[in-house]
């Protein structure tokens, strides 16, 4: 009897303890007010400039920049050599001058945003201001064949009586000489329209102009082009047709954009642009002619178009389709009018790309045509095989089209590529490659013989920024060099071309954004983390700080109750690989409550949805947390390219499921560390690849992930574009009899697991998404219906891939869905009051 009594007593105590434990775990109430407070519109009032974007001047190591704080915008000019930073002008005086000229009121804190042009050897600035004064539009006189001036004047006077004058806001073109005591009005005419800029490809020496018309190549000389510049309707202009075999989807420039019904007849007289590469001496023009006639069409229907719904038709190559784009490089000789074909293998499915010249950032020339990389008679270009496993770098003779292969990079997964760099009067080639498992630079001679590996080690070289030819040092950005910090933090380095002397030029446990001067002597370093105030400084090529430029003004943001998110590091599901993420909490966080956890996901492989620096753009993640969730973003094996090649290609051959195990394991680890995370309430959401991943998570781990909102997801990659899915998942080249080659593509689709759904899923797509076609989402919906599953489905009418102006509506759609199914509170109001509050009232 005593034993039974004790057992009952112990059970009673256990039940009381459980009850107390349950009362301690209080789920938060949705806080829509707090989420509204940190909307993008409201954040723009509290957060202004967070980095310095230098505009380097042509003369000396000088630049100007604009920086905005809660006190308004200031404009500065920096002389790195003199270590000085000065205001370009006195704001109060500028406001006075502008007010006097335009008759519009300005003050020192409320100047317009300027876009300056430095002139007169960088001693003066010119800019444009639009006033509120309305003036009559002065239209150009139209040419007429009627020689009866009396009749013309009579008709003109009648027209003037019938039609009111067209008005526009007056524009002022002003000049300010640095240090002067006033502005000079240059002219008060309206903007001069220069329609020729849309179609004219002017040679570097300006002697000839190329353009496209009715899919063929045309040209005119300088004399006739100047006639068009002066009068676009001049009927005496002489044009010359160079090609005659151009057709739509296999032409020489022009537009092959999608067409809508009702279709209009093609304008065969319209001049359109032709894009190509000029030789530096203007004697040759290289054009890549693409044949996409055999690529199948795809369609979307715009149901909310004006009038009748419209059908849009466009070319779209899907993964695994046997057809492929056919390209060849053509050399146009300007003097002889001969056309030479670069000798590439036309029977191989491959992608060709021409390497181009990079202009220096302080080159302010108005005329900067696209030039070949080489200044000599050479065309450097690359070819990438259809399966993306083979990258070859070639050089072609610009006169004969003969080709020599210089460098070969072959891999069993896909090959990433960056631009090559020509050094030492083009006697050397700097090549970026991941051939040893990490991204590094390799130095070759002009014949393609490897001289040495320039960088080496377990880190990732990101971008080449510059070279000092005298010291033979290169400047570049890299990640993962310092093993004591987040491997995604990017820094600037220099190294000798022989591989010695590697040095970091802006050390610190921060992510940095670099802007190197054209002289390579100085650079602006913007640095921050998600949990620090962004700062900007000027350093020299040895890494010494020259000037502290700016510190972001977050005073209003912090006063509003904002709190920085927290970076974290955990292990992947293999227990070995380090993963890096960020955790976002509600700003009214209460550790006595238990919060559902949401994972915002993008699986990669070209990037991971994990912020490394503070920016306003990351705050839609912050904002979702304010509703009442713990929101996390974290990488996964197979995600970001800025780590090892192994990490980047982990998902190769398993593009649907490769990141899911890590996402699940990370949430479990965090729940073990933090008692305020409710691991029984896990939600997941993402867009595009994240839409694909979030739905897959619900179907692969249906007992773990309880709620998902998946938008614009490429759920069925067999109908997604071939580049992304064939590259990152892989496509197999199959050799048949003789020279017959085919390609086999097989990938798991989300709809194949529809029967597994247990939780709550919302699918969302734009109905005219011409990137990830809405059919990808609709096929999942079809499979769920056939599996007799309840789910939610939303169409965003008239929206492309990014949802455009409907994105704010979509945010609250997500908030409502997670609030209902994870917080237990359903919002039933018809109006989304939070959007209405955020819309400014019209006066």
Q: Please give the full DSSP string across 636-689, using - where no structure is assigned.
A: -TT--SSS-HHHHTTTTT-TTTTTHHHHHHHHHHHHHH-TTEEEEEEEEEEETH
Residue span of the structural domain in which 130 resides: 55-137+166-195
The string of pLDDT tens digits covering residues 744-788 is 999 999 999 999 999 999 999 999 999 999 999 999 999 999 999
Burial (Cβ within 10 Å: 0-12, 13-18, ≥19) of residue 334:
buried
- Domain-located, residue 25: no
497 close to 443: Cβ distance less than 8 angstroms: yes
The whole-number pLDDT of residue 258 equals: 67
Q: Which of 496, 523, 552 is the last residue of a domain?
A: 552
Q: Residue 584 and residue 569: Cα distance in Å, rounded?
A: 14
Distance between CA atoms of 230 and 246, rounded to whole angstroms? 30
* Beta bridge partners of residue 765, listed in sequence order: 795
Q: Evaluate whether residue 298 is within a structural domain.
A: no
Q: Do 506 and 604 reside in the same domain of the chain?
A: no
For 427, the 3-state DSSP assignment is: coil
Q: Which of 36, 40, 30, 17 is nearest to 620 (CA)?
A: 40
**CA proximity to 411, closest of 725, 648, 720:** 648
Q: How far apart are CA 235 and CA 483, in angstroms?
A: 68
312 and 299 in contact (C-beta within 8 Å)?
yes
Q: Over range 651-657, report the average pLDDT.
A: 93
Same domain, 615 and 495: no
* 33 contacts: CB under 8 Å, gap ≥ 6: none
pLDDT exceeds cutoff 60 at 476: yes
Q: What is the pLDDT of residue 188?
A: 58
Q: Tell me the C-alpha to C-alpha distance, in Å, between residue 92 and each of 77, 97, 98, 105, 533.
A: 17, 9, 10, 12, 29
Contact between 288 and 276 (Cβ < 8 Å): yes
Question: ω before 178 within 30° of 0 (cis)?
Answer: no
Average pLDDT over residues 786-803: 98
Quickly count: other Cβ atoms within 10 Å of residue 149's Cβ.
10
Q: How many other C-beta atoms are found inside a 10 Å radius of the C-beta of residue 201?
A: 21
Asked if residue 504 belongs to a domain, the reply is: yes
Residue 276 within any structural domain of the chain: no
**DSSP secondary structure letter of residue 821:** I
Residue 142 pLDDT class (50, 70, 90 cuts)? very low
Does residue 734 register a pLDDT over 70?
A: yes
> Binning pLDDT at 50, 70 and 90, where does residue 1 land?
very low
- Residue among 225, 230, 223, 231 at smallest CA distance from 211: 225
According to the model, what pLDDT value does residue 112 have?
92
Confidence of residue 739 (pLDDT cuts 50, 70, 90): confident
Single residue among 157, 176, 195 that ends a domain in this structure: 195
Number of compact structural domains in the chain: 3
Cα separation, 126 vs 446, in Å, equals: 45
- Report the chain's C-alpha Rg in angstroms: 31
Q: Is residue 69 part of a domain?
A: yes
Mean pLDDT of the chain: 92
User: Is a pLDDT exceeding 70 seen at residue 510?
Assistant: yes
Q: What is the pLDDT of residue 741?
A: 81
**Which residues are registered as beta bridge partners of 378?**
397
pLDDT band per the 50, 70, 90 thresholds, residue 735: confident
Whether residue 190 is contained in a domain is answered as: yes
CATH at 692: 3.40.50.1820
Same domain, 471 and 488: yes
Rounded (10°) CA dihedral 84, 89, 91, 94: 180
**How much is the pLDDT for 58?**
94
Would you say 709 and 817 are in contact if contact means Cβ atoms under 8 Å apart?
A: yes
Whether the pLDDT of residue 321 is over 60: the answer is yes
- Calpha distance 243→182 (Å, rounded): 55
Q: Look at strands 566-571 and 545-551 and give their pairing.
A: unpaired
List the one residue out of 785, 778, 771, 769 whose CA is nearest residue 749.
778
Q: pLDDT exceeding 70 applies to what percent of the chain?
A: 92
Same domain, 782 and 638: yes
pLDDT, tens only, 32-66: 999 999 998 899 899 999 999 999 999 999 999 99
* Weakest-pLDDT range from 123-132, 141-150, 409-418, 467-476: 141-150
pLDDT for residue 137: 83
Neighbouring CB atoms inside 10 A of 609's CB total 24
Q: Domain check: are 794 and 684 in the same one?
A: yes
pLDDT digits (tens, 9 = 90+) for 163-210: 788 899 999 999 999 999 999 999 755 456 788 999 999 999 999 999
User: Please, which pLDDT band fits residue 619 given cuts at 50, 70 and 90?
Assistant: low
CA 755/CA 758 separation, integer angstroms: 9
Residue where a domain stops, chosen among 552, 572, 598: 552
What per-residue confidence (pLDDT) applies to 837?
A: 80
3-state secondary structure of 206: coil
- In sequence order, what DSSP letters do the residues of 170-197 get, joined into one string? EEEEEEEETT-SS-EEEE-PPPPP-GGG
- Per-residue b or e along 756-776, where b marks 16 or more CB atoms closer than 10 Å to that residue's CB: ebebbbbbbbbbbbbebbbbb
Q: Are the C-beta atoms of 404 and 444 separated by less than 8 Å?
A: no
Lowest average pLDDT, out of 141-150, 213-222, 269-278, goes to 141-150
Residue 381 predicted with pLDDT over 80: yes
pLDDT at 616: 78
pLDDT in tens, 660-718: 999 999 999 999 999 999 999 999 999 999 999 999 999 999 999 999 999 999 999 99
Decide the pairing of beta strands 677-687 and 707-711.
parallel
Sign (positive/negative) of CA torsion 67, 73, 74, 75? positive
- Residue 494 pLDDT greater than 50, yes or no: yes
Average pLDDT over residues 653-661: 94
Using DSSP's 3-state secondary structure scheme, residue 475 falls into strand
CA distance 416 to 431: 12
Kindly state whether residues 688 and 807 are assigned to the same domain: yes
Q: What SS3 class is residue 442? A: strand
| Full 3-state SS string of 789-807 | CCCEEEEECCCCCCCHHHH
pLDDT at position 688 is 96
The string of pLDDT tens digits covering residues 99-127 is: 999 999 999 999 999 999 999 999 999 99
How many whole angstroms separate alpha carbon 462 and alpha carbon 432? 9
Distance CA 219, CA 238 (A): 9
Task: Give the pLDDT score at 145.
Answer: 42
Question: Does residue 618 surpass a pLDDT of 70?
Answer: no
Which of 46-50, 739-743, 804-808 shows the lowest per-residue confidence on average (mean pLDDT)? 739-743
329-351 average pLDDT score: 96
In 29-72, where does DSSP find H-type helix?
32-37, 40-46
User: Would you say residue 220 lies in a domain?
Assistant: no
**How many Å apart are CA 137 and CA 245, to the nearest integer?**
44
My answer on whether 561 and 688 are in the same domain is yes
Specify whether 546 is located in the same domain as 565: no
- CA 764, CA 2: separation in Å to the nearest integer? 62
Query: Mean pLDDT throughout 814-840?
Result: 91
3-state secondary structure of 286: strand
Query: Cis link prior to 262 (omega < 30° from 0)?
Result: yes
pLDDT band at 150 (very low <50, low <70, confident <90, very high): very low
The candidate with the shortest Cα–Cα distance to 116, out of 188, 194, 53, is 53
645 and 632 fall within a common domain: yes
Residues 563 and 651 both lie in one domain: yes
Q: 18 or 414: whose pLDDT is higher?
A: 414
Looking at the structure, do residues 616 and 530 belong to the same domain, yes or no? no
In a domain, 538, yes or no: yes
pTM: 0.92
Band of pLDDT at residue 836, cut at 50, 70 and 90: confident
Report residue 803's pLDDT band, with 50, 70 and 90 as the boundaries.
Answer: very high
568 and 711, same domain (yes or no): yes
* CB atoms closer than 10 angstroms to residue 832: 18
619 versus 465: the higher-pLDDT residue is 465
Strands 72-79 and 62-69: antiparallel
Helix residue spans in 702-832 (DSSP H): 722-728, 775-786, 807-818
């Amino acid at each position: 009897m005593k034993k039974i009594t004790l057992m009952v007593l112990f059970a009673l105590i256990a039940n009381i303890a459980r009850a107390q434990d349950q009362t301690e775990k209080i789920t938060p109430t949705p806080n829509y007010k707090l989420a509204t407070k940190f909307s993008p519109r409201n954040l723009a009032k509290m957060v202004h400039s967070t980095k310095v974007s230098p505009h380097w001047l042509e003369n000396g190591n000088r630049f100007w920049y604009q920086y905005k704080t809660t006190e308004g915008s200031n404009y500065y000019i920096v002389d790195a050599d003199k270590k000085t930073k000065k205001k370009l002008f006195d704001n109060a005086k500028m406001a006075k001058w502008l007010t006097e000229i335009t008759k519009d009121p300005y003050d020192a804190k409320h100047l317009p945003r300027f876009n300056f042009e430095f002139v007169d050897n960088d001693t003066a600035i010119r800019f444009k201001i639009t006033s509120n004064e309305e003036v009559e539009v002065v239209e150009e006189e139209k040419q007429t064949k009627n020689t009866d001036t009396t009749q013309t004047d009579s008709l003109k006077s009648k027209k003037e009586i019938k039609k009111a004058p067209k008005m526009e806001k007056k524009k002022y073109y002003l000049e300010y000489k640095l240090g002067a005591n006033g502005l000079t009005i240059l002219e008060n005419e309206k903007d001069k329209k220069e329609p020729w800029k849309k179609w004219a490809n002017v040679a570097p020496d300006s002697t000839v102009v190329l353009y496209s018309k009715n899919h063929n190549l045309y040209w005119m000389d300088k004399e006739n082009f100047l006639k068009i510049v002066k009068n676009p309707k001049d009927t005496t202009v002489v044009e010359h047709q160079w090609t005659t075999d151009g057709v739509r989807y296999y032409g020489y420039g022009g537009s092959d954009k999608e067409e809508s019904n009702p279709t209009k007849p093609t304008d065969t007289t319209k001049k359109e642009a032709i894009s190509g590469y000029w030789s530096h001496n203007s004697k040759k023009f290289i054009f890549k002619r693409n044949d996409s006639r055999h690529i199948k069409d795809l369609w979307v229907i715009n149901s909310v178009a004006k009038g009748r719904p419209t059908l849009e038709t466009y070319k779209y190559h899907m993964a695994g389709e046997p057809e492929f784009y056919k390209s060849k490089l053509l050399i146009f000789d300007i003097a002889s009018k001969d056309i030479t074909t670069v000798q590439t293998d036309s029977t191989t499915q491959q992608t060709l790309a021409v390497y181009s010249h990079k202009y220096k950032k302080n080159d302010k020339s108005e005329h900067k045509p696209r030039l070949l990389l080489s200044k000599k008679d050479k065309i450097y270009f690359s070819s990438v095989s259809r399966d993306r496993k083979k990258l070859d770098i070639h050089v072609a003779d610009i006169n004969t089209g003969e080709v020599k292969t210089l460098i070969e990079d072959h891999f069993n997964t896909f090959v990433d590529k960056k631009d090559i760099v020509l050094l030492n009067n083009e006697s050397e080639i700097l090549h970026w490659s991941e051939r040893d498992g990490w991204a590094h630079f390799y130095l070759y001679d002009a014949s393609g013989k490897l001289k040495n590996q320039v960088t080496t080690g377990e880190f990732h070289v990101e971008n080449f920024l510059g070279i000092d030819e005298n010291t033979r040092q290169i400047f570049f950005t890299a990640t993962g060099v310092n093993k004591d910090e987040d491997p995604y933090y990017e820094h600037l380095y220099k190294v000798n071309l022989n591989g010695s002397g590697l040095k970091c030029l802006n050390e610190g446990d921060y992510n940095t954004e670099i802007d190197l001067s054209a002289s390579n002597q100085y650079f602006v370093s913007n640095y921050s983390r998600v949990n620090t105030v962004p700062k900007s400084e000027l350093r020299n090529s040895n890494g010494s700080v020259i000037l502290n430029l700016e510190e972001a003004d977050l005073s209003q943001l912090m006063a509003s109750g904002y709190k920085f998110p927290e970076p974290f590091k955990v292990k992947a599901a293999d227990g070995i690989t380090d993963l890096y993420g960020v955790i976002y909490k509600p700003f009214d966080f209460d550790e006595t409550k238990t919060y559902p956890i949401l994972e915002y996901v993008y699986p990669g492989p070209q990037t991971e949805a994990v912020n490394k620096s503070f920016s306003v753009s990351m705050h839609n993640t912050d904002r979702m947390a304010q509703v009442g969730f713990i929101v996390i973003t974290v990488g996964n094996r197979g995600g970001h390219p800025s780590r090892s090649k192994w990490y980047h290609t982990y998902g190769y051959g398993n593009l649907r499921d490769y990141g899911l195990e890590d996402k699940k394991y990370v949430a479990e680890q965090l729940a073990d560390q933090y008692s305020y995370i409710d691991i029984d309430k896990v939600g997941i959401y993402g867009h595009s690849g994240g839409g694909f991943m979030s739905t897959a998570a619900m179907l692969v781990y249906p007992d773990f992930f309880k709620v998902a909102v998946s938008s614009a997801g490429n759920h069925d990659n067999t109908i997604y574009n071939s580049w992304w899915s064939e590259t990152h998942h892989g496509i197999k080249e199959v050799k048949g009899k003789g020279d017959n080659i085919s390609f086999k593509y097989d990938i798991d689709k989300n709809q194949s697991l529809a029967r597994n759904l247990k939780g709550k899923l919302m699918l969302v797509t734009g109905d005219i998404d011409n990137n990830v076609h809405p059919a990808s989402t609709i096929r999942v919906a079809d499979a769920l219906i056939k599996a007799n599953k309840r789910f939610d489905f939303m169409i965003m009418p008239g929206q492309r891939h990014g949802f455009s102006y409907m994105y704010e509506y979509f945010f609250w759609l997500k908030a409502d869905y997670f609030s209902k199914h994870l917080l237990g509170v359903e919002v039933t109001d018809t109006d989304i009051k939070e959007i209405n509050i955020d819309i400014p009232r019209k006066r």
